[in-house]
Every structure is written in C-alpha cells, then in structure tokens.
Amino acid sequence: MVCDDLVADGALRLPGARINGQLSWDGATIQAAEEIGLDLRRLVAEELLLTTAKPVLGIVDLGNARVSVLRDDPMTWPADIRLDGFTYDSLAAPSKRDERDSRRERYPSDSASTSADTLPASSRLVWLSLNGVGYRPQPFEQLAAFYRRIGHDDQARKVLLVKQRRRRSTQNLGGKLWGYLLDWSVGYGYRPWLAAIWLISLIAIGSIIFTWRPPPPVDPATSPPFNSLVYTINILLPIGQFVQPNQWNPNGPERWFAYSLVGIGWILASTVIAGVTRVLNRS
C-alpha cells in the first residue's frame, strides 16, 4: 500500500489493517483538525515507512501494531506518537547516503546501508518521550530488546536505565527515595562501576580522617599497630574482617564518623545486591 506524496487534510484511520508487504507514507503530508492524525492501531505489515514530508499534525497511534521493519525520520517525528504495545524486529532511519529515488525501491530496508542507519539510544529515547500519555514500560522493553538483538548491549542498558528513572516518577515517596538511592549508587544495576567510585572515595576519606585522628587502642598491650586504610576498609565493607574493630575505641566526632561508615557500607552493599539481582533476573 503506497501512499507516497499523499496530501491529506484530515485524519487517516487504518485500525486492524493487514498488509502483506509495505505500507509507505514517504513524502506524505497529513494534517488533521481532530486529535488523531494517523491511526495505525493493530496494524500488521512487513515494513512501515513513516518518512513523511513533515511531522503529522495530530496523534500517530501505533498501539499494538506489529511490523518487521519500521523506517522513520527523526526530522519528521510527530509531536505525539503512541507506542504502547507496538512491536518490531528492526528500526532504520534515512542516512545522508539516501537519494530521493531510493524510496521507489520496493523495500528500502534491503539496501546495503540499512545496518549502519540504526539510531543511537539517545535519539530513540527522545522518540519514546513523545508519548503523550506518559510513562509506559513496554516501549522501553521493546527498544532494549531490539538493541540487544543487534548486539548493542550498551545501548540496551541506557534504555533500561532511563526506563527505571521514568518509572520512578510514577512511584510514591518511599519508592522515589529508594529509586534515587539505587540510581546514585549503582545506576539501578546498569552502572555497577558507580559502586566502585563510592567505595574508593569513602575509603580515601576515611583513611585521611583516621590518619589525622587515629582512635586509641582498647588495650595498648595487645592491640596491633594501627593502620588507617585497613581499619577504614574493615568498618566500611560488611564482609570479612581484616582486623578486629573492637581493638580500637574512637571517641567524639570520630566515633560518629565510624558509625556513619558502617551504615553507608551496609546501604551500599544492599543497593549493589538489589541492582545486580535486578539485572540478573531481567537477563
């Protein structure tokens, strides 16, 4: 079904359409006076070309549509596109190498340049944000699955991280606070290197403070020589014991700082476990 260069002063509705090939809106102009501009709900097609001449005026609804290939253009993305339930196998966008005559090919996705025309996650996340009804989890999962399928795990992680941040905005106060903690500490499990930065920073701060104000030993006769680095690691990490922390007795502000390190260590360990478990369960 080829609708190239079509000019429509009104809404176009094809809900539930079944097309054994390509549905093309290449170069089309659709300007609807009503809310819906292009209704493609429950569409089934091999390839969908949404490379219109300019953004569709009105909502483009792809709810529960199913296509093998979607080819669109960021320059003509509509202001409101509904993607909840929309599934696809591949995404492509025009490149600078595309010529105007190439749109006359039966399937532009068959061109040799298609594999290089995949937009990065940062661009596709803008595409997802155009959904006027707010946060929906399925479009994020679908986009992440696409990036994984083509071997871009790093792009998939970016999508899932933004998904968690968008989801956080829909939660109550407790969920938001826990979400912020997971985000800052380990990036919801998609940035585990953040935990290493926190640990290294806290160990460095603790080592400096305990070198400057070392805690007095409980029993000078039996306590080994004090090592601020080992002592800080010992109270910060809730696993293992390099030394016995009860061999020293910090006083005053140093005591509260030591207590803070113990609490932060447990919180950091909990968020790391929660974040990593989330990723492993998702995988």
Q: What is the dihedral of CA 27, 31, 32, 36, to 10 degrees?
A: 50
What is the band of 32 on the pLDDT scale with cuts at 50, 70, 90? confident
Do 208 and 123 share a structural domain? no
Same domain (yes/no): 149, 33: yes
Give residue 188's pLDDT band: very low, low, confident or very high (50, 70, 90).
confident
DSSP per residue, 39-81: E-TT-EEEEEEE--SS--EEEEE-TT-EEEEEEE-GGG--S-E
Q: How many domains does the chain have?
A: 2
pLDDT at 113 over 50: no
Point out which residues pair with 7 in neighbouring strands: 29
The candidate with the shortest Cα–Cα distance to 4, out of 113, 108, 118, 96, is: 108
Q: Which domain holds residue 211?
A: 193-282
Element (DSSP H or E) covering residue 92: strand 87-92
Q: At what angle do helices 193-212 and 228-236 cross, to 10 degrees?
A: 130
Q: Is the pLDDT of residue 131 over 60?
A: yes
State the average pLDDT over residues 129-150. Answer: 93
For residue 2, is it within any domain?
A: no
Q: What is the spatial distance between Cα 173 and Cα 176, in angstroms, rounded to a whole number?
A: 5
Structural domain contains residue 42: yes
**pLDDT tens, position by position, 236-263:** 876 655 555 566 777 778 778 887 888 8
DSSP track, 116-176: GGPPPHHHHHHHHHT-TT---HHHHHHHHHHHHHTT-HHHHHHHHHHHHHHHHTTS-HHHH
Domain assignment present for 260? yes
Would you state the pLDDT for residue 112? 46
Are 137 and 26 members of one domain? Answer: yes
Say if residue 163's pLDDT is above 90.
Answer: yes
pLDDT band (50, 70, 90) for residue 233: confident
In Å, what is the CA distance from 43 to each residue of 21, 62, 134? 12, 8, 22
